[in-house]
Amino acid sequence: MTDPKVYLLDGGTLVIDESDVHWHINAGNPVRFPVYSVLVEHADGLILYDTGYDLDHVNKVLPFELPEQTKHQTIPGQLAKIGFKPEDVDIVVNSHFHFDHVGGNKYLTEATTLVHKLELRQAKVPEPFERLGYSDLSFDHPGVKYKPISGDYEIVPGVSLFETPGHTIGHYSMLVEMKNERNMLFCGDAAYTRTTLTNEWIAGFHLDPTKSVEAIRRLNYLGRTKNADIYPSHELEPYLTWKLAPDYYGGN
């Protein structure tokens, strides 16, 4: 059986303080980090995990994050590099609904959005300290088709979501299983960096620090038991070694 094709879509970069990357570590040290999405071309459908940020929104609401994004780094631009259009996407999954993971949802007008039922509620009525994180509600565009889910969930055979809450209340990580290559585990913001996974250093922005540590331990367990390479969300050094679209993993 042929493996699905997995494309990593370059969504540009942002800047945050290192104390937000690793809680209480090196305050006052700005870090530029990548934002990316994952497109899975599967026999049963085209699946997009996370959709990056909207440049206009960040410039207006969070300009201190110093966004750098070209039109080719938007979801339409990245899909075009592979030969797809936004309306070709069948399923969109957001690891969570923070602004840097939902900015391209509005283009995916034909997709069904899989959403943890707790995450959707939280995005609409966040805690005060979460309001900037949930500041881009364009994912809730007219005509959006939600499929609320909870618990671990198989999207299609070999592509599964695992609950990893803590960063947010309804956070999901995604495992793509391969027959001919190593499996791929995408952390979302449950793990910003490899150091997050090694040292169990959670991000500075979180809803529940205890659950955040539990999520890191779960990711390490899944990586070990599922024979998967683990892909953190926001670390430039490993990102620069990955294949980016139009190159892909799998397909063999």
DSSP 92-144: EE-SS-SGGGTTTGGG-TT-EEEEEHHHHHHHHS--GGGTTTT---TTS-TT-
Determine which one of 3, 10, 50, 100 is catalytic.
Answer: 100
Q: Where are the beta strands (DSSP E) in 145-206?
A: 145-149, 153-156, 159-163, 172-176, 183-186
- To the query of whether residue 100 is one of the catalytic residues in this protein, the response is yes
Rounded Cα–Cα distance for residues 207 and 145 (Å): 27
Asked if 50 and 95 count as a contact pair (C-beta separation under 8 A), the reply is yes
Both tokens of 235, joined, read: 């670390």
Cα→Cα distances 252→9, 49, 170, 243, Å: 20, 21, 33, 16
Cβ atoms < 10 Å from Cβ of 252: 10
Measuring CA to CA, which residue among 10, 171, 161 is closest to residue 98?
Answer: 171
Q: Is 218 helix (H, G, I), strand (E, B) or coil?
A: helix
Paired sense of beta strands 91-93 and 5-17, if any: unpaired
3-state DSSP helix/strand/coil % of the chain, to nearest 5 = 30, 25, 45
Full strand arrangement of the beta sheet holding 153-156: 153-156, 159-163, 172-176, 183-186, 228-231
Positions annotated as catalytic residues are: 100
